[in-house]
Structure 1
Amino acid sequence: MPSPLFADRPAQPPESGAMDALISQTRRLRGQVDAVRRDAVANEDDPQQRWQRALCDLAVHQLDDLGAHLDLLRAGAPEDVVLGGTERERSSSAPTTDPGTAYGAPPRTGSLLSRVGSAEWNLLTDEVSWSEELHQIFGRPRESGPLSLDEMPTLVFAEDQTVLQGLVTDCLIDGKPIDGEFRIVRTDGRVRTVHMTGEPVLDSDGCTASMWAVLRDVSELRRSERAVRESRDSLERSRHLERTERRVAVELQEAVLPPWRGSLRFAHDGPAPLDVAAHYLPAASTGLIGGDWYDALALPGGDALLTVGDLTGHGVAATSSMAMLLGALRGMAVAGIRPAALMAHLNQLLETSAQPALGSAMCCRYDPVTQTLTWAQAGHPAPLLFRGGEGGALRRPEGVLLGATTGAAYGEAESLLLPGDLLLLYTDGLIRNSGGHDDADARRLLALAPRLAGARDAQDGVRAVVEEFGEEARKDDACVMVVRVGG
């Protein structure tokens, strides 16, 4: 293939109307991508958003290059822009305007014309021709002259010198086209990545007379591609960690929460035994397990412990803190500590924990002989009592969030339960949704009174609540427990 430097006539530019339309489309697309890029990162700690921003940066660089290429085609760029040329050709055909500016953006470090140059090395006369742009790429003043093939490696990274040597050797000896990349250190110390393409020029006898090449500074493009790879890898690592954390949190939660499924019946000797059922509802937005719990436990002497609670946070940290708190609660309840004192101990435990957190909780102790429910709460919604087809909240005793105040005191309340009564205990994630208000959602719970009155057992009551609230996209996980008083 003959060198374009020796072409009989310059290449003719394409039809201007079609090219103008392509340039306009590219400019609009570039502006749209740039607008997306500016808004791509709201949180630098989010790997997903960093990856999206890196992709936008890469797309902008590629569109800049495309737009400038189209400008060159439309203008019919002189040979010194594309392939170098002699000093006379450069002086007579230099463009009067910067195509990078014509494209609609001010020249910048990453613009195409500051990154593409050409060269020819004549093997017969040892003459070397460099375009002005190639001097700019290498940071080499024109008065210093171009570099010969023997001098080129002096500006190339030591690790990449064999790459350049292989490209040149294959071209000059085997007649292969040049297509490869290497890194250079400019005279000002800046490191750039250069992509080199070219071919040998043969004489009439088929021998290599010279070698021409186009060199393009692809540093910005490679930097953007590297940013995409790194942010993608970071995103994949983040997702892997999230999956691992979720699996560990689920396993820990399953190990701590009650193993029973369906209804749990307490075989009390009193006139009003309990039928208990509960259900855990995960958060829809985070996909992580939180610190919500529920528990029902038969205590020495025949009483029953009923409790639900919620710790702030998600993942293994919240689940492990929940496991610690629930274990302490069970132990103190078995030891006979009453609900109010139990809340105070839990507050002190959470306050001195290595992983500080806030929590809400409710602890109930039911005496089947006297049919009395004694309970205390720490910043938690009161139980809802359904009786005779109507529902209402029990009077809530005093109690602040666990871990909020040192030495907090907690009150107790008592309620007499009758056969047929149904208690609904829940964590606030059940009703704290993005589309409504707590009061409105609490009224929705109370509106379930007719359905709960007709429930065959506690499990049927849980099913009614889950059917009403379970499909909603809640921000937080939740627990619901239904307790039905037999008789």
Structure 2
Amino acid sequence: MSSHVFADRSGAQPPRRGPVTGPVAVDALISRTRRLRGEVDAVRPNPPMDEDDPHVRWQRALCDLAVHHLDDLGAQLDQLREGLDAPGPDVDAYDPYAFRPAGSGELFGHEADHAQSSGSLLSRVGSAEWNLLTDGVNWSDELFAILGRPLDGGPMTLDELPSVVHPDDQALLTALVTGCLVDGRPIDGEFRIVRPDRRERTVHMMGEPVLDADGSTASMWAVFRDVSALRRSEQAVRDSQETLRRQQHAERTERRLAVELQEAVLPPWHGSLTFPLGGPAELDVAARYFPSANSALIGGDWYDALQLPGGGSLLSVGDLTGHGVAATSSMAMLLGALRGMAVAGIEPRRLMEHLNQLMETAAQPTLGSAVCCRVDPAGRTLTWAQAGHPAPLLFRDGTGRALTPPDGVLLGAAASPEYEQADVDLLPGDLLVLHTDGLTRTSAADATDHTPLLDLAPRLAAAGTAQDGLRAVVERFGGDGREDDACVMVVRIGS
């Protein structure tokens, strides 16, 4: 770069000290900035945190970014306060050749002392002047520190400055300086520098040409600000936002797949379903799936009603641990196996044994609970087995009770367990309620407590159809705020 270049037009003059604003007002701004900085730092998440959670990383990156912005603002306000405390030069006697932003005491007279008290805030801001008439160069101590250059190495000329700039950014620096010296344009740009220890820093440079009385460029001053931490925080925010966006997209995709799989597997019938019980009597069935308040928690709850080849009916409800595609795919496998074995005539307790074996050998091991009921139309007998599941409720003559459960452990909890089954005689007008544990469970209630459902006995006893009974259950338990998804099936024995 040439050391003596004349500007084609007058450039903006360097800032002169003067009463830009009152010291009291600046003190108030400094106090408010420091208080806000402390409040932001107080709410900033600190390790140890869940580093795998993009929400946490995003929040911490935003707080870091805010802290860096407030640090920079505090440093600039401190410099402004120092400038307001010092007397300004005589404008009429202003000498452009005497401009010394670095260490001369004429613009930043207290800069060195203030750097000691401000610590790292002001140490990220340095200044320089290149006198084009005398080839003199003046740097502040802070600029030496920013560039990692020892003080005894002396300041660098404009020709030498590109040697510390990253090779990819040298053309940018040349364009900035040439535009300032030749066209009188202010400098305002960022570039990377490579320190002697090979560490890269990002520097924001602002400067202007200083013209003499003839309009010739006499010198150029510049202020350098180390914005490396600020840019790292901004990049961390962008990276965290992108990670969060990808995770949210993956969660939405997984939820859509889970919903589609669930809808494909659960029975397609709506309203009521009827099965013959011999003569004019029918088995009236209605069921409902209740999603959780958290739409992301698509679980493995199921209900199913199936007419068997021999004239009987299979009724089942169940629940698998977990949520999302893994739970719904396991539910689809289990329900498919259950239907196939039931059609083959396998009795309920054997069904449970085979389902347990299937769960043990599954590619994605999980636990599950289930209840399976086979209704014999000839004797109107309910034969049922359960695997760690809430017992069916029988409502008769205006009262309700839970059926005494036969022995049975959770599916997938033990190797080769034995399951028992029980028989119950059904009477015309009886109403059965099969459900998963999420139906009545709240933060204050045990999932095995049947009291909330039994309290509906008067309404359920008066229900003329299974749909009427289901409507009573929905009105009581179908509201918002459900912690988990659930299924319920209401079965009425016709007369």
TM value normalised by structure 1: 0.91
Cα distance in 1 for partners of 2:56, 2:483 equals 20
How many angstroms does 1:342 deviate by? 0.6
* Structure 1 residue runs without a partner (length 5+): none
C-alpha distance 74-118 of structure 1, shift in aligned 2 (>3 A): same
Kept in 2: contact 1:68–1:112 (CA 8 A): yes
Q: 1:56 pairs with 63, 66, 73, which one? A: 63
**Paired residue for 1:302?**
311
Q: 2:32 pairs with 25, 37, 43, which one? A: 25
**Which one-letter code corresponds to 1:436 in the other structure?**
A
SS, match of residue 276 in structure 2: coil
Cα distance in 1 for partners of 2:366, 2:477 equals 27
Kept in 2: contact 1:193–1:217 (CA 8 A): yes
Cα distance in 2 for partners of 1:22, 1:119 equals 27
C-alpha distance 101-335 of structure 1, shift in aligned 2 (>3 A): farther
How many angstroms does 1:405 deviate by? 0.5
The aligned runs of 1:203-352 (5 Å cut-off) are: 203-270=212-279, 272-285=281-294, 287-352=296-361
The aligned runs of 1:311-460 (5 Å cut-off) are: 311-438=320-447, 442-460=450-468
C-alpha distance 279-331 of structure 1, shift in aligned 2 (>3 A): same
Cα distance in 1 for partners of 2:113, 2:104 equals 19
Identity of aligned residues (%): 66
**Paired residue for 2:109?**
93
Cα distance in 1 for partners of 2:158, 2:483 equals 65
Q: 1:187 pairs with 184, 190, 196, which one? A: 196
* Structure 2 residue runs without a partner (length 5+): 1-10, 87-98
Cα distance in 2 for partners of 1:253, 1:393 equals 29
**Which one-letter code corresponds to 2:109 in the other structure?**
S
SS, match of residue 130 in structure 2: strand
The aligned runs of 1:190-201 (5 Å cut-off) are: 190-201=199-210
Kept in 1: contact 2:103–2:109 (CA 8 A): no
Cα distance in 2 for partners of 1:443, 1:27 equals 58
Cα distance in 2 for partners of 1:84, 1:357 equals 75
How many angstroms does 1:149 deviate by? 1.8
Cα distance in 1 for partners of 2:178, 2:399 equals 92
Q: 1:113 pairs with 107, 110, 122, which one? A: 122
SS, match of residue 438 in structure 1: coil
After superposition, give the CA deviation of every residue in 1:246-293 in whole Å (9 maximum; x if it has no partner). 111111111111111111111343564211111111121352311111
**Which one-letter code corresponds to 1:223 in the other structure?**
R
**Paired residue for 2:14?**
4
SS, match of residue 38 in structure 1: coil
How many angstroms does 1:97 deviate by? 5.2
How many angstroms does 1:486 deviate by? 0.9
**Paired residue for 2:82?**
75
Structure 1, 449-458 or 288-297: larger mean CA deviation: 449-458
Cα distance in 1 for partners of 2:45, 2:196 equals 34
Kept in 1: contact 2:165–2:194 (CA 8 A): yes
Cα distance in 2 for partners of 1:90, 1:132 equals 16
Kept in 2: contact 1:271–1:369 (CA 8 A): no
**Which one-letter code corresponds to 1:274 in the other structure?**
L
Kept in 1: contact 2:103–2:111 (CA 8 A): no
After superposition, give the CA deviation of every residue in 1:437-478 in whole Å (9 maximum; x if it has no partner). 3355x2111111112122232122222212211214222211
Cα distance in 1 for partners of 2:225, 2:102 equals 20
SS, match of residue 438 in structure 2: helix
After superposition, give the CA deviation of every residue in 1:196-245 in whole Å (9 maximum; x if it has no partner). 11112222232322221111111111111111111111111111111111
**Which one-letter code corresponds to 1:118 in the other structure?**
S
Q: 1:473 pairs with 459, 471, 481, which one? A: 481
After superposition, give the CA deviation of every residue in 1:295-333 in whole Å (9 maximum; x if it has no partner). 000011111010111111111111111100100010000
**Paired residue for 2:493?**
485
Cα distance in 2 for partners of 1:91, 1:179 equals 20
C-alpha distance 14-170 of structure 1, shift in aligned 2 (>3 A): same
Cα distance in 2 for partners of 1:359, 1:290 equals 11
Kept in 1: contact 2:100–2:107 (CA 8 A): no
How many angstroms does 1:77 deviate by? 7.5
How many angstroms does 1:19 deviate by? 2.9
CA RMSD in angstroms, aligned pairs only? 2.4
C-alpha distance 86-429 of structure 1, shift in aligned 2 (>3 A): closer
C-alpha distance 334-84 of structure 1, shift in aligned 2 (>3 A): farther
Structure 1, 12-21 or 312-321: larger mean CA deviation: 12-21
TM value normalised by structure 2: 0.90
